[in-house]
Structure 1
Amino acid sequence: MNIKNIVNRDIVNLTNCESEPIHIPGSIQPHGFLLGINKNNSKIEFSSENSADYIGLTPEVILGKTLAEIFTEEEASGFVEYVSAAVIDTAKPYVFSMKEELYNTTVHQSGETIILEFEPFPDGTLNLPNLYNQTRKFVSIMEKATYMKELCQEIVNETREITGYDRVMVYKFDANYNGEVIAESRNKDVASFEGQKYPHTDIPVQARELYIRSPLRMIADVSYKPVPLLTLDDAAGKSNKSLDLSLSILRSVSPIHIEYLMNMGVAATLTISLLQNQKLWGLIACHHYSPKILPHYTRLSALLQGHFLTSQIAVREVAEEFEVTQEVDKALSESLTLLHDHDDFIEAFHQAPSVLKMANATGVVIYYNGKLYKNGQVPADEELIPLLEHLAANYNSHGIHTEHLLGIYPEGKSLSRYAAGIIYHAIPSGSHAGILWLRSEKIETIKWAGNPHKAVLPNEAGDRLSPRKSFELWAEEVKDLSETWRKSEINAAANFSFSLQKHVNLRLIRTQEDKNRILNEELKSANKELANLNWISTHDLKEPLRKIQIFASKVLDREDPDLSAQVKDSVERMRFAAEKMQLLIEDILSYSKTGNMEKVYEKVDLNNILSEVLQELSTVIEEKKAVVHADKLPELAVIPFQVRQLFINLISNGIKFTAPHIHPEINITVDEVSGEDISHEKSVGNTRYCRISFADNGIGFSEEYKERIFDVFQRLHPAHKYPGSGIGLAICKKIMENHKGFLTASSEPDKGSVFQVYFPV
């Protein structure tokens, strides 16, 4: 039979303690022995080398056997029943006996191996803890202790009374896993560690992970000699066997940790994990200055103290946070009331004490419209403005909070006196606008248990790293940091900043409304003046023009025989000009009315309107021998008199703008189209339009004029050849705008024109 040990020799020659495989040491502490049973075949696959010291059987005898071959049939059968339970109760170990010796046997599974750890009863008796009294004491402690630190102190006092260790501490981790002793109970003969801090390197990552998986660890004697685990050498070539001992109470400890404890002068330890949200919050650490084996049930009592304390961590921290939150919320409410009640809050109320109190800040600055509004202790303006510009450039879309301003603004070393920590939120209403809460520097002297910068030093052999040898008090002064911002303070600052942003935006809106109101009044006044001018031009000018026409006609009728041909021509020209001007004024009046008259829509049959228009234009149609063809038109909700004017203008243009000796022909067609199919800027995609087309055989125009022809007074042809004011198509365009529609034109010279009007359906 070939037997080999599975000691992990990589541990001995480490160069980095943070990669040490402490969960597979391949050895155990000697205050008990270990067996590993293969779950599949029930045979003993692992045995610690010291089995003979306890049960008189060497590993050579044990390995490859079953429990029934080592212990009595009755005990083996009882164990099978014990281990077959849905959950193995590790708090109640199975009891084996051998040679009249009883062994508490804790059991857990590691992969395919069931691990049995045998510990003899130290005094040969089973000492069960008095759980009732222990729980009653804790409830009394819980009622008496108001704050977390007080509760921790009571727990260490009680734990030391239960266990008898020389020193019991509660060791709390910070965010970087540096630890601090926040409560301590000790023998009067040992020096105090309370208030001292220990660097995160003292408990590396893989050790912290084990503390989470296994809540209790005991070292009975730091001077112990590790006991190797043995196994059968597998002929199949599986020579790299290892056994994960993460949950083992007997697991051998890292030699680096042993050396660390020896350097501290500690001979035995017990460590209990304190968890919050599945993260390591801290430890209950027990030290003894001589070897000490704590019996199984006493360990459970100590572990129960850890569970008691763990149950209160979140409750106590929330309670302490609640006290702060109440004060913060009160200050926030006061500040919001001032903000909502006063439009001039920034200028008049920025120095309100509540603005500081809501974040428990030492100073606050609002930067708005290029001005600084300051409250409390703040740096000089020439230092503040570059900081605010930096924050606005880098944190404009989201706020930021930090206890170490130099980490994000290295050039701000001189600001630490006032602004070691900040909360900042931008105000998106102007260049670099924002609100900034400041906290002054909190210079702190930290008491380290030894120099934290020499947490790990090379040993004399130089083949691996070993822990520092000095634990003398080492003081470090920490600067450029503020107190940590609490969550409630950060939330209150964010809440107020959001309200301030709305307040500023509302101010801007009101300012713009005032400007718009003034502009609107000015526009109304201008429109009134224009209306007066329009009245004068369209009414007061009509009478003189009418008189000019009458006088000219009288002169020509009465004095005709006595007038020279030259005078007759001049008077005729004067009469013609007055008539032309009167027509122009009437067209201007029509254009003005088109935009200003009340828009009353009626559902009408467009065929009726077209008939009226053709009847009105019958004289010119007969004179020009024009022909008008029209499809049946629909019923639409329109402004009847405006649509009538639209039809008159479009048909009149089709008759007027024709070549000599050509009989005008106008075709009016109708269809329905979707907005998506119309390439016009005023077309709405999800709207249907009734399209009415007016196509003529007139003289046409160049495509470049298809938009300009709708401008007022825009003429493409000489007035003496094609008379008119140049307003007709502008009136048509405005009529279609009144109907929320539009008008288009297309044409080629000498090939006629097509005007299309689009009414939304």
Structure 2
Amino acid sequence: MEIKDIVNRDIVNLTNCEQEPIHIPGSIQPHGFLLGIKEGSFIIDYCSANTAEYISLFHSQLLGKTFAEAFGNEPFSELKAYVESGKMLSSTLLRTTLAGVDFVCTVHNSNGIFVFEAEPVILQKLLPSEMYVQTSQFLSYMSDTHSLKGLCQLVADGTREITGYDRVMIYRFDQDYNGEVFAESVRADLEPFLGLHYPHTDIPAQARELYMRNLLRLIVDIDYTPVPIYTLDDAADKNVDLSLSVLRSTSPIHVQYLHNMGVGATLTISLIYKKKLWGLIACHHYSPKNLTPEIRLAAQLQGHFITSQIDVRQASEEYELARNTSIAVEKMNAIQLDRAADLNSVVFSPDILKVANATGVAVLFDGQIYKNGHTPKSEEIRRLASWAATYSKNTTLVTDKLIDFLPEHRDMCQKTSGILYHSLDMNSDNCIIWFRPETKTEVHWAGDPTKSIEKDEKGLSPRRSFALWNQLVECKSKPWLQPEVDAAASYAHALQRQINLLIITLEEEKYRRLSELLRETNSELENINWISTHDLQEPLRKIQLIASRILVKEEQMPVNVQDSIKRMNDSANRMQTLLIDILKYTRLRHSQDAKEKVNMVELVEEVKGDMAEVIAEKKVSVWAENLPLVEGVPFLLKQLLSNLFANSIKYAAPEREPVIKITGSHELQPYNADDKTLYRVVHVADNGIGFEQQYAEQVFNIFTRVHTSPEFKGSGVGLALCKKIMQNHNGYIRASSQVGVGTVISLYFPAEV
């Protein structure tokens, strides 16, 4: 049977300590012994090298045997009952006798291995009466102090009284896991550490992780010699996870750190709050010291008491602050905004600064800045608001150290080290910002935090100096407390609602004025339309009448006079046509006729009948196929087709006979990719002279003519009238043309729902 130890011999130094596997050291402290027992078979698979010191049996005699074979049936029955009762990792410990010696044991399951740790019974233990006194002390803590700091001080005093350590510290972490001695009870002749800060490098991440899992850590003697753990050499890379072990050997880096502090023994109790490591109860003794399991449990209960009271104490401390900020918010909400200028009354109210206990405030709205108190310059506020809107995506931003975000604006530190920003608009820089000035503070570190690693003749080692080192913190404001942040958010949302109502009111007023102006303009346009379509008709008719009478005697006039009168008559005719088209366009705008089913085939026949003479004269071929039924106003659709036919005939190619094809499809189509509506489509195609496709949209504008040659007479209203008719039918019209080939006009009628 081959036996090997599982000691981790990887070289550990300060360059790789962040990756040190401290949960599998392969060794233990010597104030007890360890067995690793296989779950199910209870075969001893791991054994520390010091068993002979406690039970006169060497590890080589124990490995490979069952627990019963090694110690007898009675201890085995006690162990099995303890495991099956579910008491592992509870406050109930296993007490048993092994090889005639009484032990108090802890047992836990580590990946299928029962880690059995035995320590000899120490006569000194906490009596029931002392346990009662301690419980009573817990209750007295609740009435003796209302602050968290006061509670921690009482717990530090109580823990030192119970355990007898030279120094007991309540150690609290910040958000970056730098530590602060928050409360301390220390022997009178020792230097106090209260208020000192320790860098996060003193407790690496993997150590903090173990503190989360194993809530109590004991080192009896810093100068101990690690005891190796042996196992049967029957598999490669065998090891056992000692994360929850009581006897687990400590990292040599941590041992060196404690040596540098002059510490002889330690007890560390984790303080877990909201599933995070809030802090530690750190107990130091300046000589070796062990505790009974009862005293360890009593000390651990002190830690549980602190964490159970954190919420209560913080709530008590924050209550008065929250009450005052809430009163300020209520007073601010009473100020109503009727116009933008009222924002002056908002920012100059004394309560707006009390909302967040700020020294300055600014509101940016519609390009205007309203500010009060100690604030940056207006241009700096604009830049800050623009940056904060982009950075926060128009939400919120809270910081007590703005320079961390804007290092180039150190000149703003004095007045603007801290800001509490709330956007008032998702699409602009409108916002409200509370300001706090720089508060220079002095942080007392236990040694220079930048020198957590020191170099000497032996290489790198943990820092040796814990002498007071003062750091001046600049460009940082007093931190924003949660009640202040909550009150600011509450008022910012209320102000946002008021501003939105103000914007809506201003928009309504603007639209009301525009509506009045539009009504006046429409009234004037109606008068102009009436004049152009009625009053101008009479002088035109007189011009046409006089011209026709003169032309009756044209043989008696010189040729140049005849020519002038004919041009005058033609101009009058064109103007009359234009006025008639304008009248049609104007009437179409007011048309509200009810729509009905229109048979496009029948409509085409009607238009052909009305235009029979010109169709015959120009030898036009007109034919239709697959035309659908559409919803529309019959006389308007007839006007639509008449205009399209007339246009095709007007712009016919002189070298070929005109052809007009009216086709349709019963398959529904969208107008474009963005339009989800489906349409029935009718195409009116001709083989005329066409036009360049770049004018496809322009041809539908009123008074617009692509062909300006005198031979093509017209007002430029025809296709605009067609577009207006399609708009009245909630449809679209589209032109597709090619010079010398012809034009296709596509009509999109909404399909039935």
Q: Same fold (TM over 0.5)?
A: yes
Residue 303 (structure 2) aligned to one of 295, 302, 306: 306
Residue of structure 2 in register with 1:740 after alignment: 730
CA distance in structure 1 between the partners assigned to 2:365 and 2:712 by the alignment: 64
Residue 532 (structure 2) aligned to one of 504, 519, 537: 537
Deviates more, 1:516-525 or 1:29-38: 516-525
Residue of structure 1 in register with 2:248 after alignment: 251
CA distance in structure 2 between the partners assigned to 1:463 and 1:555 by the alignment: 124
Residue 356 (structure 1) aligned to one of 353, 360, 385: 353
Task: List per-residue Cα deviations over 1:257-305 (Å, max 9, x = no partner).
Answer: 4454455454433221111233211112233444432211221122122
Residue of structure 2 in register with 1:598 after alignment: 591
C-alpha displacement of 1:499: 6.0
Tell me: CA distance 1:691–1:431, structure 2 relative to 1, closer, same or farther (3 Å).
Answer: closer
CA distance in structure 2 between the partners assigned to 1:614 and 1:737 by the alignment: 24
Residue of structure 1 in register with 2:203 after alignment: 203
Given that residues 361 and 437 in structure 1 are in contact (C-alpha distance below 8 angstroms), is that contact kept between their aligned partners in structure 2?
yes
CA distance in structure 2 between the partners assigned to 1:184 and 1:347 by the alignment: 51
CA distance in structure 1 between the partners assigned to 2:6 and 2:723 by the alignment: 98
DSSP 3-state at the match of 1:88: coil
CA distance in structure 1 between the partners assigned to 2:274 and 2:114 by the alignment: 29
Residue of structure 2 in register with 1:226 after alignment: 225
Residue of structure 2 in register with 1:477 after alignment: 472
CA distance in structure 2 between the partners assigned to 1:605 and 1:255 by the alignment: 96
Given that residues 626 and 665 in structure 2 are in contact (C-alpha distance below 8 angstroms), is that contact kept between their aligned partners in structure 1?
no
C-alpha displacement of 1:104: 1.0
Given that residues 47 and 62 in structure 1 are in contact (C-alpha distance below 8 angstroms), is that contact kept between their aligned partners in structure 2?
yes
Given that residues 551 and 562 in structure 2 are in contact (C-alpha distance below 8 angstroms), is that contact kept between their aligned partners in structure 1?
no
Residue of structure 2 in register with 1:108 after alignment: 108
DSSP 3-state at the match of 1:477: strand
> Which runs of structure 2 are paired with 1:416-435 in the superposition (5 Å)?
416-425=413-422, 434-435=431-432
Task: List per-residue Cα deviations over 1:69-115 (Å, max 9, x = no partner).
Answer: 44343223332333344452542222222575421122223345433
> Which runs of structure 2 are paired with 1:474-553 in the superposition (5 Å)?
474-493=469-488, 518=513, 521-548=516-543
CA distance in structure 2 between the partners assigned to 1:393 and 1:343 by the alignment: 24
Task: List per-residue Cα deviations over 1:124-176 (Å, max 9, x = no partner).
Answer: 88956776664454344335532222222332333334333343332111122
Residue 642 (structure 1) aligned to one of 612, 615, 636: 636
C-alpha displacement of 1:539: 1.9
Q: Which amino acid aligns with 2:725?
A: I
Structure 2 residue runs of 5 or longer lacking an equivalent are none
Residue of structure 1 in register with 2:158 after alignment: 158
C-alpha displacement of 1:433: 5.6
Structure 1 residue runs of 5 or longer lacking an equivalent are none
Correspondence 1:270 to 2:271: no
CA distance in structure 2 between the partners assigned to 1:170 and 1:674 by the alignment: 78
Correspondence 1:702 to 2:690: yes
Given that residues 547 and 565 in structure 2 are in contact (C-alpha distance below 8 angstroms), is that contact kept between their aligned partners in structure 1?
yes
Q: Which amino acid aligns with 2:298?
A: S
Residue 564 (structure 1) aligned to one of 552, 556, 559: 556
Residue of structure 2 in register with 1:689 after alignment: 680
CA distance in structure 1 between the partners assigned to 2:458 and 2:11 by the alignment: 15
Q: Which amino acid aligns with 2:682?
A: R
C-alpha displacement of 1:649: 4.0
DSSP 3-state at the match of 1:701: coil
- Which has the larger Rg? 1
> Which runs of structure 2 are paired with 1:78-477 in the superposition (5 Å)?
78-88=78-88, 90-98=90-98, 101-123=101-123, 134-223=134-223, 225-231=224-230, 234=233, 242-321=239-318, 323-338=320-335, 343-368=340-365, 371-381=368-378, 387=384, 391=388, 399-425=396-422, 434-458=431-455, 462-468=458-464, 470-477=465-472
Tell me: CA distance 1:536–1:86, structure 2 relative to 1, closer, same or farther (3 Å).
Answer: same
CA distance in structure 2 between the partners assigned to 1:270 and 1:180 by the alignment: 18
C-alpha displacement of 1:572: 7.6
CA distance in structure 1 between the partners assigned to 2:479 and 2:392 by the alignment: 20
Tell me: CA distance 1:641–1:284, structure 2 relative to 1, closer, same or farther (3 Å).
Answer: same
Task: List per-residue Cα deviations over 1:683-722 (Å, max 9, x = no partner).
Answer: 9553222526476x8xx32333985765537485976x77
DSSP 3-state at the match of 1:375: strand
The count of aligned residue pairs is 746
Residue 668 (structure 2) aligned to one of 644, 651, 674: 674
CA distance in structure 2 between the partners assigned to 1:256 and 1:745 by the alignment: 84
Deviates more, 1:193-202 or 1:388-397: 388-397
DSSP 3-state at the match of 2:347: coil
Deviates more, 1:297-306 or 1:24-33: 24-33
Given that residues 17 and 465 in structure 1 are in contact (C-alpha distance below 8 angstroms), is that contact kept between their aligned partners in structure 2?
no
Given that residues 64 and 232 in structure 2 are in contact (C-alpha distance below 8 angstroms), is that contact kept between their aligned partners in structure 1?
no
Task: List per-residue Cα deviations over 1:338-379 (Å, max 9, x = no partner).
Answer: 365554343442233343333332222334565543222224
TM-score, normalised to structure 2, is: 0.82
Tell me: CA distance 1:476–1:658, structure 2 relative to 1, closer, same or farther (3 Å).
Answer: closer
CA distance in structure 2 between the partners assigned to 1:393 and 1:75 by the alignment: 70
DSSP 3-state at the match of 1:177: coil
Given that residues 110 and 245 in structure 1 are in contact (C-alpha distance below 8 angstroms), is that contact kept between their aligned partners in structure 2?
yes
